[in-house]
Structure 1
Amino acid sequence: MRLSNRNGKPLYSFIYSLVGIIFILGIIAYILEINKFDVFGNKAWVLLAVPAILFLLLYILGRPVFEYDSDGEALNFRNNHILYLLSKKNAKDEFPKYKLLKFNFVNGFIFRRLYIYISSKKNHVTILKYDISYLSRKQVKDLKFSLNKVIKTNRETRQEDNTD
């Protein structure tokens, strides 16, 4: 199964650009407020706070582009950011399906995260984290269905191996 929200990338770019413009205009308005106009008085900090909160919200939501592919013998996860300034934590992981142990969805008030638990060398467990805040409910449901299918297949395979 393939899942991607790459088609929403222009919308996400527009939103990030709009928030960037609002932030720059907020800084300019704050400087003009302090030096020239004095309309807000002691409340001039609001001109910086509102754009900063919007930018912080986008930062908390995480990386907007998520791609998942379970075709073949491997699971592919890709989680990218639109802004190059914030792209240092782009995630691109590929591993065999049999290594998937379990997964967990975390639904925060503002954000959603996907935690993937895979077995690594020497029976250690590695946790991979992905931002899925920008996925629709149907996409999350399809992702959950696909991952449950892989885990069910892995359990059946392990049971067959243990009985042999």
Structure 2
Amino acid sequence: MVHRLRPVGLDFVDTAPVRLVFAREISASPKAVFHALNDDVPGWAEWFAAVTHARAIDGGAGRDIRLRGGGRFRETVIAAKEAEVYAYRVDVTNAPGARALAEEWRLVPAGTGTRVQWTFGADGTALFRFALRTARAGLGRAFRDAVVSLDRRLQG
């Protein structure tokens, strides 16, 4: 079942009932990481193992994302500041129990590389919030593996 979520802004990632924050330093520059996030949306399927399909929609103002296991998301980009931040909210999903979702990728220079911080903000039913908190370790591994893969891709 596909359903529409509550539209949220960038501030939601700081105030969401469930906030999962992960960070890792990589050798790629903030500008290169931002380009991969913002300008090469189809490339997400090459470096983020959970993503099976990604495409920009609405002239780059949105994204259509499919995940392993059947998750589907139609998103709106809510922040895109080169070499600093890339964020989006989910407008429509088939994830049961979700009411609002937003993700922020914060890019901070770290020596010659980048400290990438991914914040996942969510609201939903009690069961949905519990499931996300339970999935924290797995999401952390997925993030770590994704940014390591992205780093290799950008260095290659």
Place the TM-score, normalised by the shorter chain, in its bin: under 0.3
Structure with higher RCO (Cα < 8 A, 6+ apart): 2
Structure (1 or 2) with the larger CA radius of gyration: 1
Q: State the TM-score, normalized to the length of structure 2.
A: 0.26
Q: Which has the higher helix share?
A: 1
Q: State the TM-score, normalized to the length of structure 1.
A: 0.25
